[in-house]
Structure 1
Amino acid sequence: MIISMKSNLPISPDVLWNHLKSPLTFQKVASPLMGFKPLGGDRLPEQWSTRAYPLRMDLFKLIPLGSHTISFLSIDDRSRVLSTDESGTIIKTWRHTMAVHAGSSGTTAVFQDELHFSNGLLTWPTYIGVYLFFVYRHARMRQLIRSGRLN
C-alpha cells in the first residue's frame, strides 16, 4: 500500500530540512497524538544518523502500542531526501521517504512524504489509521511553523 502526501509550508527549505533530521522535531510533530521514546533508556541524538533506533510507541503518550524500530537508510543533505525502513508491533513493513524542495517563491518549502507499507490482512484497516496520522503530522507541522516553534 502507498500513501503519498505533499504540503507547501511557510518555512525555508534548508530550515525545514534541518528540522526533519532532528528526533526532537519527530517527537513534536507526532505529539500529542503519538509518543515515541527510545527503548533501553538510551537518549535520542540531536540528529538522526544512518542506523537503527528501537523505540516504544504510545497513543496519546499513555496507551502502549508496542515497539517501533526506525532504521535510517539514507540522509542525503544535497538532495534533502531521507529514507527509512521501519517495522514494529503495529506495522510489519514500513518504507518511508521524506523530501524537502524549494517552493515556487524560493522562501517556502514543499514537504513530500511517501510511505510504502504492508501489514498482512490488516493492511486496509492500517491504511486508514496511517493516512489519518499523515494528515495530522502535516497539519501539526504547519501549526508548529506558524506558531514559531519550528523556525
Structure 2
Amino acid sequence: MRIQLKTVLDCEPDVAWRALRSPAALREIYAPLMMMEPETEFPTMWDATTTTVGLSLAGLVPSGRQRIDISFDDHRSDGVRILVDDGAPLTGPLALLGSWRHRMAVAPAPGDAGKTLYRDRLDIGGAVAPALWLPLWVVWQWRGSRLAELAPTWAYDPEIQAVDEAPTA
C-alpha cells in the first residue's frame, strides 16, 4: 500500500535538500506530536547510514523503536534528489507491518526555481497494512503541513566572501 504527499515548499531546492538530510530538522518536523530519541548521537547531517531511534507520542507515551536506514539517489540527470529510508519499525504497533520503504524527493518547482517540489512516498505491506494505512495517511498530511510551515524558516548557508587582506607593515 502506498501513502503519497506532493507539495510545493517555500524554499529553494538546495535548502530543502539540506533540511531533509538534517536529523534536527526531522525532529522539528515531527515535534510535538512524535518525539525521536536516538540510541546513539545523531550526526549533524545524514550520510548513508543506519541508526535506531526510540519514538514516543508527545514525548510521554512510548510507541516503539524504528531503524532508520538512509541512502541517497542524488546524482540523477533530471536534477531530482531522493533520500531513501529502507529502515523498519522494530517494536510498537508499526512493527506489525511486513514492509516499509520511505522515499523523499526534492526538485525545483515547475515555473519557480526558487521553490521546491517536494514528494514523499511511503510504501507499506503486510497483513495489517490496510488497518494502518489511514492513521499513517493522517500523519503524512500533518507532516506535509509541518513541512510547509517550517520550510520558509530553514536557514540558508551564508555566502562565502573573499576578505580583503590588510596590508602588512
Give the alignment's TM-score, normalised by structure 2. 0.81
Out of 47, 60, 64, the position equivalent to 1:62 is 60
Structure 1 residues 27-66: Cα deviation after superposition (integer angstroms, max 9, x where no partner): 0001111111112xx2100011112111101111110011
Check the 8 A contact 2:13/2:106 in 1, yes or no.
Answer: yes
Distance, in Å, in 2 between the alignment partners of 1:80 and 1:73 is 11
Query: Which portions of structure 1, spanning 4 or more consecutive aligned residues, are displaced by more than 4 angstroms?
Result: none
Q: Note the C-alpha offset of 1:17.
A: 0.6
Kept in 2: contact 1:50–1:75 (CA 8 A): no
1:37–1:77 CA distance, 2 compared to 1 (3 A): farther
Larger Rg: 2
Alignment of 1:87-126 (within 5 A): 87-88=88-89, 89=91, 90-91=94-95, 92=97, 93-103=99-109, 104-118=111-125, 120-126=126-132
Partner SS for 1:121? coil
Partner of 2:140: 134
Shift of 1:143: 1.2
Structure 2 residues not aligned, in runs of 5+: 156-169
| More off after superposition, 66-75 vs 29-38 | 66-75
CA distance in 1: counterparts of 2:149 and 2:75, whole angstroms: 25
Which residue type is aligned with residue 59 of structure 1?
L
TM-score of the superposed pair, with normalisation by structure 1: 0.90
Structure 1: runs of 5+ lacking an equivalent: none
Instruction: Report the aligned-residue RMSD.
Output: 1.5
- What is the aligned length? 146
